[in-house]
Amino acid sequence: MAETEVSAAERLAVLRTEIAEHNRRYYEESAPTIADRDYDRLYRELLDLESHYPQLIMADSPSRLIGGRSQKAFSQIAHRAPMLSLDNTYSEDEVGAFYRRLEKLLPNEKIPVVVEPKVDGVAISLLYEKGRLRYAATRGDGVTGEDVSQNIRTIRSVPQQLKGEAPKLLEVRGEVFMTKDGFAKLNADRSEAGLPVFANPRNSAAGSLKQLDPAITAQRPLGVVFYGTGVVEGIEITRHSQLFPLLKKWGLPGSELWWKADSLGQILERIHELDKLRHNFPYETDGAVVKVDAFAQRESLGMTAKSPRWAMAFKYEAERVETKLLDILIQVGRTGTLTPVAALQPVVVSGSTVARATLHNEDEIKRKDIRIGDTVVIEKAGEVIPAVVSVRTDLRDGAEKEFGMPSKCPICGSKVVKEEGQVAVRCVNAQCPAQLKRRIEHFAGRGAMDIEGLGEAMVEQLVARDLVREVSDIYSLTSKGLNELERMGEKSVANLLEGIELSKRQPLWRLLFGLGILHVGVSAARALADYFSNLDELMAASADELQRIPDVGEVVGASILQFFREPGNREMIAKLRGAGVRLTSDPKAATATDSQIKGTTWVITGTLGQPREELAELIRQRGGKVSGSVSKKTSFLLAGEEAGSKLEKAKKLGIKVVAEEEFRRLLAS
């Protein structure tokens, strides 16, 4: 390859990795770490390079994929018609180029379009059969999504039965959102209760939709806006504009405003008009969507690998404001990482008051030449956590101060270190109160030991009162000490102690994840608990043995070895053992009955009497595997009510379908 092609290949590799990670955070964790504009810039660079060097395009390139992977905690549903992503732009010139392409592809034809708001929510697809809601699924990878039917049913604006004469089959698409007022109240309530607040309405909507307990979803102020269809049978719709009155007729909430346009000038007028009106909507919007109205023309235009040629999203520029940088504060995380945070003169950005903004790390501060006392430009693109994007150096008067990371931890006074080749500065004191708080919160979190009542506010008090000096001290708490804390009545104390006691029986993988070993996530924790029969075996394992375990490898293995070499960590394990915390893996049964599950692959679908993750854990405990989709490799389908397409596919493939009652007998026998 020529030198330019080599450099292009190297840059493409970097872009693919970065974009894949941002996709994972956005679609799977609902926790984006960059603004939409920054993501779009990376994605556009990828497309430009691939257009110049098509020979370098990979089959798994983000340009060929729709959305993200589906979550394993939910069963999977195949969309009747793919849920496509839209190409987007911030440029009116590119909107013009889009419309001219339409005219070129459809010469001598009038091409009416519809302009409507782009709701900043979570894409959803609902299937109605004879007017009755059958299921709801997230976008997932565009072909298969997560079954969130039970959670969708808790949203009051979603009808269980369509009004009037409904079509035989209706696959309707839309966005689940959290109202602006509801989001503000939810965060206020969470702050009052000592719980971490959500970054933005979209993240909170996504998190609410992915709750395993529908009762939690029901408490969230969610709504839906429908704007399109997938498969439709029993009624003929030839134009997109026909859909809006039909949605209203059926009782489905649709876009509040939409316009027809049949020229580029009209399209731009509608986009400008929407920008003036969109802040009055009860939900967040971040752009306008332009769609060809006639379905016949859409069919002629077709699609690319992941996007239709007949639609485009125009995204409004993120609001930017100027304010004073009053100070740079330091936050200390559970692993000791020191993170600089901008303390700002409060300013309103995108409808909310901002007094803090992320600065990421010391290198970023130096790169942007950010100084205390500067006038800085703040952006809250896509309602992500606000960030300092630039500095007004022309307004400096000489009183500004350069920033340097402290040589000692601002919380405990211990020295800090910066390893070679790393941007992170860390406090080396494992007993640092700030680290301790974060570690306890992580240990007690839902994904780890799941100790109800041990949230941020409670941890703050426990550490401040010196009742907890390390994670294992949680199990030494008594009603006497807890009764002295604020807002801790007799019932609250009893509930917390009960939660602590219940956590002792949690599976080993939850404990391993809760310990907060660097690089050990849920997947690695499960793999370790499957491989070792108890914690002692893991602590005695060699580097070679650890590297042979799936989801571990060299980096994670080295981190595990380092963790258990620390005398303080070994002492903590001893205290956990003394407190009665379970340190053994789930037994891999070897009886004849259990052999029916051992080595088999299961898919779980439908409404069952126990959360799917708990049922999946029962299967894993007996040596089985749990998959999200039905295939020829599937051994059994555990099916509850409203099993849907997975049941149909399992029957076609001749896979044994097991009802919950039969599954219980299999476990008990």
Phi, psi of 128 (to 5 degrees): -110, 130
Rounded Cα–Cα distance for residues 468 and 481 (Å): 11
Conformational region of residue 251, where left means phi above 0, alpha means psi within -120 to 50, and beta covers everything else: left
Owner of token pair 């300092």:
388
Phi, psi of 445 (to 5 degrees): -65, 165
Q: Report DSSP state, residue 429.
A: -
**Contact by Cβ (8 Å): 141, 70:** yes
Rounded Cα–Cα distance for residues 426 and 475 (Å): 28
Contacts of 185 (CB under 8 A, 6+ apart): 221
User: Of 72, 110, 118, 588, which residue is the catalytic one?
Assistant: 118
Using N-to-C axis directions, what is the helix angle for 264-277 and 92-105, rounded to 10°?
A: 140
Contacts of 498 (CB under 8 A, 6+ apart): none
Give me 503's structure tokens.
Answer: 């956590």
Owner of token pair 């404990």:
511
The verdict on whether 118 is a catalytic residue reads yes
Type of residue at 385? I
**Contact by Cβ (8 Å): 383, 200:** yes
Strand-by-strand arrangement of the 636-639 sheet: 625-627, 601-605, 636-639, 656-659
Contacts of 312 (CB under 8 A, 6+ apart): 86, 87, 88, 89, 94, 95, 98, 289, 290
Measure the CA angle with vertex 437, ends 431 and 439; round to 5°.
Answer: 80
Type of residue at 199? A
**Contact by Cβ (8 Å): 364, 346:** no
Owner of token pair 């983000």:
62
- Residue 294's DSSP bridge partners are 239
Rounded Cα–Cα distance for residues 474 and 478 (Å): 9
**Contact by Cβ (8 Å): 624, 603:** no
Where in the sequence numbering do the catalytic residues fall? 118
